Structure 1
């Protein structure tokens, strides 16, 4: 067997072993994931403190979704929003809901922290991160508005001095 046939064999195997990459989640996929989390929350026996924090994170994600195009779907922020909805929230909630309520809410599992306390900390971290991402997306729009204002000022001037006098006088 020569080098040429060895190379050809490797090449044929490489062609057969192509990796199929699934498409990136769409906004509809993320909303469907949030709906599933909401259904788990409704069906589970989660205390109000968990429900309130989950709803806060999901609401922020919903507000952020239409703005992901400004951040870029392939950005770290875009990935984080998708991961929160499709992985981080459901995993945290499922792990908590699998535990008996009384045990989860009263027995320490991480030092003095109960499962409830651990989950609330995780949800607070996710909420803060979701808020930061939404703020970043909103800042992008705000900066565009500022840039447009500067353009208009440069083009037409006088905006800082009160703008042109547009009062109408009677003839």
Structure 2
């Protein structure tokens, strides 16, 4: 029992209510964050290398959003998608954009790599991770399709498609007329 507990018991005070946890970002906040990054890049004159990678990451996150629950509410995968959209991607891009363009693109800052190279590496890592998250989210839908096919097969049996007979008709049988050759 701590001193605060003793005071509360002695003087009749109640325990202070813990502050409520903030609600995790939902789809509107995620989309707003991606749009913010797009605006930052549009106004910055950033390299097309950066813009194309950020665009791809944003497109992948937008594809994942309708399937986010498929990854599992509160799962590490769902968290990674939300954090990438609302934190990792915006922070990486903003840190790069705070640097003067010419300096960032030409001066080594980390083991001979320029800020542009460092950012490209970060964006490639985020892209690869989001591609994996999309695969995981879509995998559940693909499994549902497979399960439905197995159900239908069990219910109705395998039906093989019929192909119309397009083979040419056999030639007419040779008659014993004078058109036959006698070789013998």
Structure 1 alignment gaps of length 5 or more:
166-171
SS at match of 1:16: coil
2-structure distance, mates of 1:79, 1:31: 15
Structure 1 outlier segments of 4+, above 4 Å: none
Q: TM-score, normalised by structure 1?
A: 0.84
- Aligned equivalent of 1:112: 112
2-structure distance, mates of 1:17, 1:141: 42
Larger radius of gyration: 2
2-structure distance, mates of 1:17, 1:114: 49
Q: TM-score, normalised by structure 2?
A: 0.79
- Aligned equivalent of 2:160: 162
**How far did 1:96 drift?**
0.4
1-structure distance, mates of 2:102, 2:29: 34
Coordinate RMSD, CA, aligned: 2.3
Segment drifting more, 107-116 vs 15-24: 15-24
Question: How many residues of Structure 1 are paired with residues of Structure 2 in the alignment?
Answer: 158
Structure 2 alignment gaps of length 5 or more:
163-184
- Aligned equivalent of 1:73: 73
Normalized per residue, which structure has more helix? Answer: 1
- Aligned equivalent of 1:149: 149
**How far did 1:17 drift?**
4.5
